[in-house]
Amino acid sequence: MAVAQVENICSTISCGKPATLQCPTCLKLGIKGSFFCAQECFKSSWKVHKVVHQRTSAGSANSTYNPWPGFEFTGPLRPAPLTPKRAVPDHIVRPDYAEEGIPHGEKEAKRASVITQLSPEEIEGLKVACRLGREVLDVGARAVRPGVTTDEIDRLVHEACMERDCYPSPLNYYHFPKSCCTSVNEVICHGIPDTRELQDGDICNIDVTVYYSGFHGDLNETMFVGKVDEASRQLVQTAYDCMMKAIEIVRPGVKYRDVGNMIQKHAQANGCSVVRSYCGHGINQLFHTVPNVPHYSKNKAIGVMKPGHSFTIEPMINHGRYNTSLLMQTCGVNFHIGTWKDVTWPDDWTSTTAVSISSYRLCDISSSLSSYRTGSVQPSLNTRWS
């Protein structure tokens, strides 16, 4: 089912408002995706925005596109222009942030700091959302190949959501402009789908969450693009194994802090480190809520697993051990490995490894779990990797 693209988002960083005004110079140079909501935003962004014109020649706009001149990228990946925001039909049930971008329910739950215990009926609702999310993710995964843009993957994910009467949970969540996250190579998480074509040897994580009948189902998977190197394969396998070892200990009575111990132990045993800036989270009628589930050891997570809790485990794993700095050379490219720290692009979403020259490979795999009977754990989605 084709879905019309009817709304553009303001190019001013962190604005997030619908935009219809186009930069006249960008139109003349053929630069796509340059929209502003008002003259005030256009004027306030002019000092940064005008450099795009200086660095772009007619006929090769996309190859030199850089919306943030002066920003020091940590790796070879660069942003590409965005397509307009995709529309959601009126009959699709929306979460509370769909219009304004602010998840008020999450803010209220954060103040209360109480972990929700779902009833058996609510657990069934969560399972349905997760199964639909698995179907949607499979649609996006089947499209991954060299030459396909991450925006095309987003389009397929969006349309698959519409066909299943699901709202794509990332869309307009704190003004996120797309329907899924696509994180390529050195991007740890929250990459925004754009018009960059996937290259042979890339790895690409697709992070899908759907909202259906009052529940969010969150899952993601890392795909190989064409022929990848052995290091990438080993990293993805390590990340998957980290997740599964953590899932094995999930049962009522286990402390949430223990999840990170299992993950870091296996990651370090395989020469990898664990990203500390992002963690698993509670999920139910809310997209993100308590508990927080850190993936590293010796964390201070609060809480004990109880029947009816539902949460994600989504370790983000880097090559190299924690706090090391090893310079390697392969295929003529130097890259540092061994840091868990991150740098966020000026879009306020795309999180990348904090290295000067990077050919990092990241893997982020999640699973939503519901422990609803004493001594038993019921996965609410099927997880696989490729």
Q: C-alpha distances in angstroms, 213 versus 146, 210, 236?
A: 36, 10, 33
Judge whether 99 is annotated as a binding position.
no
Query: Which residue in the block uniquely carries the two structure tokens 């796509």?
Result: 32
Judge whether 314 is annotated as a binding position.
yes
Would you state the structure tokens that stand for residue 263, as one six-digit string?
């993950």
3-state secondary structure of 152: helix
- Whether the Cβ atoms of residue 159 and residue 2 lie closer than 8 Å to each other: yes
Would you give the DSSP letter of residue 357?
S
Judge whether 248 is annotated as a binding position.
no
Query: Which residue in the block uniquely carries the two structure tokens 């893997």?
Result: 363
As a whole number of angstroms, the distance between CA 184 and CA 353 comes to 11
- Whether the Cβ atoms of residue 309 and residue 370 lie closer than 8 Å to each other: yes
Per DSSP, what are the bridge partners of residue 326? 337
As a whole number of angstroms, the distance between CA 118 and CA 15 comes to 36
Judge whether 104 is annotated as a binding position.
no
- Looking at residue 335, its amino acid is F
Would you state the structure tokens that stand for residue 38, as one six-digit string?
């008002």
Judge whether 202 is annotated as a binding position.
no
CA angle 235, 240, 241 (to 5 degrees): 95
- Whether the Cβ atoms of residue 340 and residue 294 lie closer than 8 Å to each other: no
As a whole number of angstroms, the distance between CA 46 and CA 69 comes to 12
Give Cβ neighbours of residue 273 (< 8 Å, ≥ 6 apart): 267, 317, 318, 319, 320, 321, 322, 323, 324, 338, 339, 340
Judge whether 207 is annotated as a binding position.
yes
Q: Which residues are annotated as a binding site?
A: 190, 207, 218, 281, 288, 314
Q: Which residues are annotated as a binding site for Zn(2+)?
A: 207, 218, 281, 314
Q: Which residues are annotated as a binding site for a protein?
A: 190, 288
